[in-house]
Structure 1
Amino acid sequence: MKIKFFSLIKLDLKKDEVDYQLSGSKSVKEIIKLLDQEFDNYFSRKLLENGELKSGTIVLLNGRNIRHLQGLDTLVENKDEITIFPPSGGG
């Protein structure tokens, strides 16, 4: 499974993607926990608020927004690609 990062995530982590081998299906919520283990809880702090995606956060599974699927409960397989855009700021 490939996870691509954009915007501030890419700049903060100095990486534009990571690859993982999954054993079976995992939910997007479980994938965020997996990323948190590698990146010191960065993803929960950046993307989640009260256990839900922060407003403005975009997580795509194979090009489809998980908000239009099963949200954080959307299942991910090894063949899949996740794309993460953090909430944007500015004005």
Structure 2
Amino acid sequence: MKIKFFSLIKFDLKKDEVDYQLSESKTIKEIMKLLDQEFDNYFSRKLLKDEELKSGTIILLNGRNVRHLQGLDTLVENKDEITIFPPSGGG
């Protein structure tokens, strides 16, 4: 499974992607915990509020927004690609 990072995530982590080999299906929420273990809780701090996605956070599973699937309970397989965009501000 490939996870691609964009915008401030890419800048903060100094990585544009990571690859994981899953032994079984996992939810987006479980994937976030896996990422948090590797990146010192970065993803929970930056992308979640009260265990829900912060407004403006975009997580795509194979190009489809997980908000339009099962949200953080969306299942991920080894063949999948996740793309993560942080909430953005501006004016």
Q: TM-score, normalised by structure 2?
A: 0.99
Give the length in aligned residue pairs: 91
What percent identity do the matched residue pairs reach? 89
Unaligned runs of 5+ in 2: none
Q: Which amino acid aligns with 1:3?
A: I
Q: How far is 1:69 from its partner?
A: 0.2
1:9-63 Cα deviation digits (max 9, x unpaired): 0000000000000011000000000000000000000100000000000000000
1:39 and 2:45 matched: no
- RMSD between aligned alpha carbons? 0.4
Dislocated runs of 4+, deviation >6 Å: none
1:13 and 2:13 matched: yes
Write the distance in 2 (CA, Å) between the matches of 1:20 and 1:53: 22
Q: Helix, strand or coil for the counterpart of 1:90?
A: coil
Q: Helix, strand or coil for the counterpart of 2:32?
A: helix
* Alignment partner, residue 61 of structure 2: 61
Unaligned runs of 5+ in 1: none
* Alignment partner, residue 25 of structure 2: 25
Write the distance in 2 (CA, Å) between the matches of 1:52 and 1:85: 15
Write the distance in 2 (CA, Å) between the matches of 1:50 and 1:90: 24
